[in-house]
Amino acid sequence: MKVVKFGGSSLADAAQIEKVQNIIQEDEQRRVVIVSAPGKRNSEDDKVTDLLIALGSSIQAGETDRDIYKKIISRFRVMTEELGLPLSVAEKVKDTIDEAVEMVKDDSSHALDALKACGEDGSARIVSAYLQECGLQASYVNPKEAGIVVRDQPGGALVLEESFDQLYSLRSRNEILVIPGFFGFTPEGELVTFSRGGSDITGSIVAAGLKADLYENFTDVDSVFCVNPMDVDQPKELTSLTYREMRELSYAGFSVFHDEALIPAFKEKIPVCIKNTNNPSAPGTMIVSDLPERESHVVGIASDKGFLNLYVSKYFMNREIGFGRRLLQILEDEGVSFEHAPSGIDDMSVVIREHHLPPEKEEVVVNRIKTELQVDTVMIEREMALIMIVGEGMNQTIGIASRAAAAFREAEVNIEMINQGSSEVSMMFGVKSSGLGKAVKSLYRTFFE
């Protein structure tokens, strides 16, 4: 059996949902369907999840934005009508939204998560009703009923092990099951969402729990590209890559698939196929556990902006047992997560996502470092970008670092940071954001042309 997940653009309107129905009907192995919230119908349009978040904020600010509320209700009503579904479907979606709105008004715990989740829930109700309408045996299945149990961290759920056994029992149901993505329930029964884009995670969890033969992830691209098409014109398509490669690429700007979503599939070694709802006959990109040896060891180049470098120097640092640990402790105390912390003899750098260290936190952190660690220098350099080149076998291939470094030189971009060796499948470079585009183009020429 196959678990099939459809992203927001695949559920943006009635026409898209018809495509979804066709895809499901085409292959009787497609037995479990995970859906995102309706996405944009055009570039000017809103994603339903963004609207729900804005609605929640307005309520919390004491001024419920009725326009946004109406927009949301209308999105679902129009879809229902265009698909020729009974009005009761749209009513049910509205009831769920209204219930969440009341929760936010009452300031009850987990209310925002409940409201954010209404987009996926609505999609699932409409898709399941439409499948029935088309004569298929199909049911809406709530994640609570499905058994998706998560740790209680609003907006950052993590699946609990018990979920997988519970999900397995869904195999015995002889019909198409439509499950909303993006959320689960705590052992106490509270609704909690995964991080943004978390429907990919739900799909992966369900595929793992059901021990599916394949997890198909339908998006709006034919395949994964080896580099961001915003940086390079018509880059090469990837027909296959490994879980580890995909995870590293997702981390640094490959938004086609959620960073964390691969893990449940990986643990059960379930192949993942990225496909296009608008061109379902294209083969897509397969993500698997192992691949036969390939000629080139670099399969992708990913990059992301918005990092800063916290630089600290102190004489005798390398004699002070515990210096690095105490520096990281200060960051932890202040709730600042970091990406990398390479150290030299008398100096240490910590790479942090800029939004994790807003100015008010920066002041606290810098002062604590100065007074508690008595450092000689503490400096923050903003507007850094990270570039990762990714590929299995890379770390054991002589000459990759040399070709990569030469590409930076050709682009006349200085390498501020290199982190190689901590990961077996990637090499990371830090550059000033202004040089990012040039560097990525040059790396593409080096490894793919």
Query: Would you tell me which residues interact with a second copy (CB under 8 A)?
Result: 156, 158, 247-248, 251, 260, 263, 266, 309, 311, 315-316, 318-319, 321-322, 324-325, 328-329, 331-332, 335, 337-349, 395-399, 401-402, 404-406, 408-409, 412-424, 426-428, 430
Closest CB to a second copy among 280 and 306? 306
Other CB atoms within a 10 A radius of the CB of residue 386 amount to: 26
Give the type of residue at 436. Answer: L
In the bound state with a second copy, the residue whose beta carbon lies nearer, of 6 and 183, is: 183
Query: Cβ distance 66 to 80 under 8 Å?
Result: no
- Residue 5 labeled ligand binder: yes
Nearer to a second copy, 119 or 430 (CB): 430
**Closer to a second copy at the Cβ: 104 or 375?**
375
Nearer to a second copy, 248 or 392 (CB): 248
49 among annotated binding-site residues? yes
- Looking at the DSSP assignment, which residues form a beta bridge with residue 138? 176
Hey, what are 373's tokens? 């660690």
d(CA 367, CA 418): 28
Residue 211: count other Cβ atoms within 10 Å of its Cβ: 14
219 is in an annotated binding site: yes
Instruction: Flag whether 7 is marked binding.
Output: yes
Check whether 6 is labelled as a binding-site residue. yes
| Shortest Å, Cβ 327 to a second copy | 9
**Greatest alpha-carbon span in the chain:** 75
Going from the C-alpha of 383 to that of each of 89, 109, 204, 229, 353, the distances in angstroms are 48, 36, 34, 22, 10
Tell me the closest approach of the beta carbon of residue 346 to a second copy, in angstroms: 7
How far apart are the C-alpha atoms of 22 and 27, rounded to whole Å? 9
Supply the DSSP string of 221-275, one letter for each residue: SSSEESS-TTTSSSPPEESEEEHHHHHHHHHTT-TTS-TTTHHHHHHTT--EEEE
Q: Identify residue 386 by its one-letter amino acid code.
A: L
C-beta of 38 vs 430, nearer to a second copy: 430
The CB-of-370 to a second copy minimum distance in angstroms stands at 18
Amino acid at 415: I
Considering the complex, what minimum distance in angstroms separates the CB of residue 328 from a second copy?
A: 4
Shortest approach of a second copy to residue 363 CB, angstroms?
Answer: 20
Q: Per the structure block, which two tokens stand in for 298?
A: 């670099």
Closest CA to 214 of 281, 269, 140, 283: 269
The token duo for 217 is 């992830």
DSSP letter assigned to residue 170: G
Provide, rounded to whole angstroms, the least separation between the CB of residue 289 and a second copy. 14
- CB-nearer residue toward a second copy: 68 or 348: 348
Give CA–CA dist 89/92, Å, rounded: 5
Please report how close the Cβ of residue 427 comes to a second copy at its closest, in angstroms: 8
Nearer to a second copy, 39 or 435 (CB): 435
Please tell me whether 220 is known to bind a ligand: yes
Closest approach of a second copy to the CB of residue 391, in Å: 14
Binding-site residue numbers for ATP are 5-8, 219-220
Binding-site residue numbers for substrate are 49, 120
Binding-site residue numbers are 5-8, 49, 120, 219-220
